[in-house]
């Protein structure tokens, strides 16, 4: 399924993540990719087996509660917070600079630094570089 969306990279990543979250709740999506002009979803079934118009209609007519729930899920599960926490914790002097960490170790930083200025700064930086929730809210609201 291709979504033509010439909104730019950051908006398309955010929109793609949101739509992927909503499609995943219905067990419809396997993988997805995006560029500044389109979002491509690999669905679990052939489009001839699905009522694509109904799927698209559901995605375009989501209510505010579902939208905000999806945005919250993106904040919690889709942003690379552990990645940012590593570098911010280094800047704050909370961990030694230059540590080599695997993905699991970086994810554990989210627990270690929860409810700290390091976590707040990681969320701020990740949102600045990886997400545009306001623009996605505008797009979905139209």
Q: Does residue 125 lie in a domain region? A: no
Confidence (pLDDT) at 121: 93
Q: Does residue 93 lie in a domain region? A: no
The position carrying tokens 């942003």 is 79
Q: Does residue 5 lie in a domain region? A: yes
Question: Distance between CA 123 and CA 76 in Å, rounded?
Answer: 10
Residues in the chain where the model's pLDDT stays below 50: none
Strand order in the sheet with 38-43: 2-4, 38-43, 29-35
Q: Does residue 8 lie in a domain region? A: yes
Confidence (pLDDT) at 13: 92
Q: Is the dihedral of CA 21, 24, 25, 28 positive or negative?
A: positive
* Structure tokens given for 35: 């560029």
Q: Does residue 55 lie in a domain region? A: yes
**What's the domain count of the chain?**
1
Confidence (pLDDT) at 16: 93
Q: Does residue 35 lie in a domain region? A: yes
Residue 5's domain comprises 1-63
Question: Distance between CA 42 and CA 3 in Å, rounded?
Answer: 12
Q: Give me the DSSP letters along 83-100.
A: HHHHHHHHHHTSS-TT--
Confidence (pLDDT) at 142: 65
């Amino acid at each position: 399924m291709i979504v033509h969306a010439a909104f730019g990279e950051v908006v398309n990543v955010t929109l793609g993540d949101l739509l992927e979250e909503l499609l995943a709740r219905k067990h419809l999506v396997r993988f997805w990719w995006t560029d500044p002009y389109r979002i491509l979803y690999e669905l679990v079934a052939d489009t001839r087996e699905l009522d694509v118009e109904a799927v698209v209609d559901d995605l375009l007519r989501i209510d505010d509660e579902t939208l905000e729930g999806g945005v919250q899920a993106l904040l919690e599960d889709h942003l690379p917070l552990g990645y940012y926490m590593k570098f911010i914790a280094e800047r704050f002097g909370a961990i030694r600079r230059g540590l080599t960490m695997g993905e699991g170790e970086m994810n554990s930083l989210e627990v270690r630094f929860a409810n700290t200025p390091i976590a707040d700064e990681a969320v701020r930086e990740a949102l600045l570089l990886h997400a545009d929730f306001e623009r996605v809210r505008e797009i979905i609201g139209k």
